[in-house]
Structure formats: structure tokens, C-alpha cells
Amino acid sequence: MPQQKDVFKIVFEQLYGPLLAYTKTLTNNHDQAKDIVQNCFITLWQKRPDLVESPALKSFLFTTAYNSFIDLYRKNQRKNKIFDELKYNMAKESLIEEVSHVDHKIKKLKMVVDKLPPKCREILLLNKRDGLKYKEIASRLNISEKTVESQMRIAYKKIREEFKNDKQILMVIFNKDSKFSG
């Protein structure tokens, strides 16, 4: 009569390949499939006194593989849910910080604009807030286009000085495609 080791070896040799192929179709991952199949044979070895003589050995291995896959899938789903919640919370915190940071920059920009000389401030606002071109501003205020350009340069210079360490705000203010452009 063959020993349990010999029977186990025969079962392993006959069923390892088909069990691995089946498990790979479940996981779509060769390494995970190998781990599951290895665990199935470990379980078989541990339960060998009850199962080796059983005609349902193949069914036992495939059912064990399927149940192991389901356990792994559920574990991954829980892990993914936790990661998704962490990513969501981090994004939410980052957004809150960014909004706060932007609010601070807007307040600072308003303070800088308020400190500009009255004519300079008026020209800047007509251009940036109201979207008027230099020529339109010159016509409206009855001044030359060169004066508008000069006043805009003064405004830009003062804003740059205040935001010299913050390049992002300058990109928004001076972007040629934005409604703030000159």
C-alpha cells in the first residue's frame, strides 16, 4: 500500500497544473494564483488523514482554491476601500488648504491693488476686472496709450515685488490667455 507522501506527490503532480490554470483565470495574476494553489496543497496536507482516500479530492482542491480567491478578493476590496478613503481624505484636506491659501493670496492681492496710486489702480482694474484693452482705457480716461502702458508696468512691478516668492499668483495674473491679461 502506498504511503501518504507518495499519494500526496501523485495528487500534486496530477492536479497542480489544472488547479493553477483555474486559479489564474480567477485572479488574473500568476503570483497570486501560485500562492493560492500552494495554500490549497498545504491545507490538503494538513487534512490528509481525512481526505487522501476520498474520491472528492479534486473537488476539495478546486473548492479550496475558489474560497481562497474569494477571501483574497474580499481582503483586497477592504484594503482598496481603506486606501480610497485615505486618498479622499487627503485630497479633501489638500483642497481645504489650497482654498485657504488661495483666499490668503486673493486678500493679499487686493491689499496690494488698494495700495496702488489711484490712477494706476483704476487703469489696472479697467484692464483686469473689466477686460478693457489699453486703447479703450486710454480713450475712456482721455490719456495716451503710453500712459496706460506705463501705469500697468508700475502696477505689475508693485505686484511682483509683493509676490516675488510666489510665482503661481504671477502666472495667473499675467497669463496672456486669462481675462486678467493686458
pLDDT of 53 reads 57
Given a contact cutoff of 8 angstroms between Cβ atoms, the answer to whether 124 and 118 are in contact is no
pLDDT of 73 reads 87
pLDDT of 176 reads 47
pLDDT of 75 reads 87
Angle between helices 57-115 and 4-27 (to 10 degrees): 40
pLDDT of 84 reads 82
pLDDT of 178 reads 44
Q: Name the residue type at position 52.
A: V
pLDDT of 54 reads 60
- The answer for 132, left when phi > 0, alpha when psi is -120 to 50, beta otherwise, is beta
**What averages of pLDDT result for each successive group of 10 residues across the chain (182 residues)?**
73 88 91 92 79 69 88 86 84 79 83 91 91 93 94 90 68 49 40
Given a contact cutoff of 8 angstroms between Cβ atoms, the answer to whether 112 and 125 are in contact is no
